[in-house]
Structure 1
Amino acid sequence: MKRKPKLIATKTKVFAYGSHQNLEFVGKFDTVIETRDKLTNATIYVSKGTSGNLLCYDTSLELQILPQISRLSTGNKHELLCEKYKDIFHGLGKLKDTQVKIHVNNTVKPIVQPHRRIPFHVRKQVEAELERLERLDIIARVHGPTPWVSPIVIAPKPKSPGEIRICVDMRLPNQAIQRERHNSNYR
């Protein structure tokens, strides 16, 4: 018979993405998590509500659920790598003179989404940023109709509160993009 783990009170603060309010925890407990091939010890935090479960990156690595992303150990190795490969570590990282084929599921109907209102206090910044991105050839003006239209989303840069970041909400178009199958070591 499996016994229920005893919850231990915790003062750990965890914030949901984009939230400034920390999650309320009922408690925490230590346990063993296992997959078919691996097992590891982990601390489980129990929160109020009915949200799903999340596994942290380190536990996912130990269980070999996710492939390890190359990590640089502490020290100045990243500076050495940047110096060694300085021909690729400059500029915007734009892939030039290459045509990419995106496989689109033609059964998904294109959607023209309405634009989102841009707050008045950042409109001049948005216009200036769009002009800058166009000047740098990161974005291009489209003349005439297009089957897909996605709204831009404006967010303040966390480390530079006076600056903005322009993102595109690609959730709906991404539903039409088919993944390519590659021979890879990742499973």
Structure 2
Amino acid sequence: MKLTPSNKTPRVTALVNNSPVMFVVDTGASVNIIAGHIYDGLKHKPRINKTTTRIFAYRSKHAIPIRGFINASIKLCDKSCKAKIFVVDSENPLVGLQNLLSGNSAEALGMITFNFTVHVTVPIQDEFHALFDGKMGKISGVTIKLHIDSSVFPVTQRHRKIPFHVRKDVKTELKRLTEMDVIEEVMGPTPWVSPIVVVPKKNGNVRICVDMRKANEAIQRIKHPMPTTWYSC
């Protein structure tokens, strides 16, 4: 058996039920094909089975007329495989190509090897480890000033009861936020008191939210245009 490169098209002569047949090796083909007159010339012709499978050439909308398929043995050198081969009616169904050897059959005969490279995406936590170290980031050298409307009277809202089974988790979370300098403990009287709302997380921890709706009424908001693609501040 021999492999013959012809016009950069790999061709190979293999034995189909001990009869030599020249194939064009098409790694993109999903089926094996032989022409009708090639099938008629086989020494040992297996029975043609009827099929409802429709075969199309690349980028073609018209199905190739086929008689059916045969189950045959394809041998190349010291390797062989059992394969389903479709028999086409015409002698030249695929624009100059008579017989096609599919990629699966070529791989089974040891002619080619499919190597699939898997690209592993690095998790964003590993790529930017400094940003996901569990610590709260801070902006240094910037002072934020909140404009307070003095005409709005401070409101001391009533504390909302926390269920007993989450009080320990709330205490732990408050301690964590204090150590991260997200919040700070206030000792003594304060004109504004906003209640917290405890929301359970799926991992068993709790998220502490603050109901700031009343306090936000005293904040004077600065009006400024939002930047767009046509306008930049």
Q: TM-score, normalised by structure 2?
A: 0.41
Comparing both structures, which one devotes a greater share of its residues to strand? Answer: 2
Whose radius of gyration is greater, 1 or 2? 2
